[in-house]
Homo-oligomer: A and B are copies of this chain.
């Protein structure tokens, strides 16, 4: 419906300078040090699924592509940087004539993803590959966080509709806009954020606020006025004064007086406060008794996956949930800790793997230029494991494959009847965009299909089974040898 409309708030904005200042000082340093053409490889990955979940939903690739396609330093940017008096003119020239020429691979949006696997890999001149760190992290961290949270909330709703309602409590305008996008990828049916429909062709919806009810002399008059303007779209907010003594009786009265004579049915009633389980049960009975058993009950009020779980298990009569602040900010865990680490450089066209050591084992990186194979069971298409391999490794699916835990290496599994999928796709080839993003609703469907390929034990809400993310033998051996090399130095 809105596909033809060529409106895009994003394209009018140049975010090139949204960069941590040290990317610029390092870039200037590399240039001064003769490393302008030094090829480096960086991986973006995360270490832990938020909220103790079993997987995340990848999101943000479309916006990352837009950013990388539009990298451009304006005259004002260059003047501003010059005024800092620490950058060489040669570096400012480089920026003024900046031409993005990196290769970029990414896991397409909507895929379930797991800790320690590269979500984005960049290969290119170190100045460029380093420069884009901030925006890669910012873009993928934010949208993956919200898509993952939305997915949890939608699973808790067990098939009931979840609407994203959080704009007013988002962390900034983009928090609302791209948060709505990610929420739909994660499973929400709609958003209250109008601009998000215009930009992404995802359904915007909404009903009325308390102020509508308050503005009229009485609740009855407020409902009646609404029903006369929107007879086919009557969802009344019934908790402005008193849900059971005023809201529902007035709603039923207006349904009877305004809708019935026109042969129309009500859409729903919404409750935004009070004891949800108790009120929805009572409301359901009152509506049913009045002949409105098709009138949906919508609830909203600081909901999250736990409250939704709880009210459903208590038998609340709810058809759909409006979820606001706890979704749009991922309140229970509002940080997605993706990192961007150097994993290799090139010397005379040879790839030299690099590792980042840490006393915290979790923080040790997987070295080298890599890819991810997702391994599926041929019989039922269920995902068995992910295997991180070196980029030049090919998996022979005709013979058996032994995978093993990278820490407890005696935990081994022999796979026979399987097929694999190369999870990352190339999105830039020497700076040229070579991938087109699907629409948001296509991504939403894809996320739903791919999530269904995970075993229920991985999908589990609390204490999920840890999905296998193993290293190929070659990668494991490479990592061990680099680890020993470095740690031998600091015994």
Contacts and interface: CB of A to CB of B under 8 A. Distances in A.
A177 B168 CA distance: 18
Given A1-B83, A171-B329, A325-B337, A273 B242 contact: no
Interface string A152-174: 00000000000001011111111
A332 to B, nearest CB: 9
A45 to B, nearest CB: 13
A209 B325 CA distance: 34
A290 interface: no
B172 A142 contact: yes
Size bracket of the A interface:
35 or more
Given A137-B169, A167-B20, A229-B32, A345 B215 contact: yes
B168 A134 contact: yes
A455 interface: no
A226 B42 CA distance: 21
A279 to B, nearest CB: 11
A7 B77 contact: yes
A6 B77 CA distance: 10
A205 interface: yes
Interface in A464-491: 486, 489-490
A79 B273 contact: no
Copies in the complex: 2
Of A22, A172, A246, A338, chain B has the most CB atoms within 10 Å of the CB of A172
B229 A28 contact: yes
Interface in A1-56: 1-2, 5-7, 9, 12-15, 17-26, 28-30, 32-33, 35, 38, 40, 42
Contacts of A168: 20, 133-134, 137-138, 141, 338, 340
A360 interface: yes
A380 interface: no
A230 interface: yes
Of A15, A20, A246, chain B has the most CB atoms within 10 Å of the CB of A20
A23 B207 CA distance: 9
Contacts of A171: 142, 145-146, 170-172, 174-175, 179, 329-330, 334
Contact of A208 (B26, B86, B206): B26
A233 B17 contact: no
A24 to B, nearest CB: 6
A241 interface: yes
A336 B21 contact: no
Per CB-CB distance, the 5 closest pairs between chain A and chain B, nearest first, are A172-B174, A22-B206, A21-B206, A137-B168, A171-B171
5 contacts: A12-B12, A22-B206, A33-B229, A142-B170, A329-B334
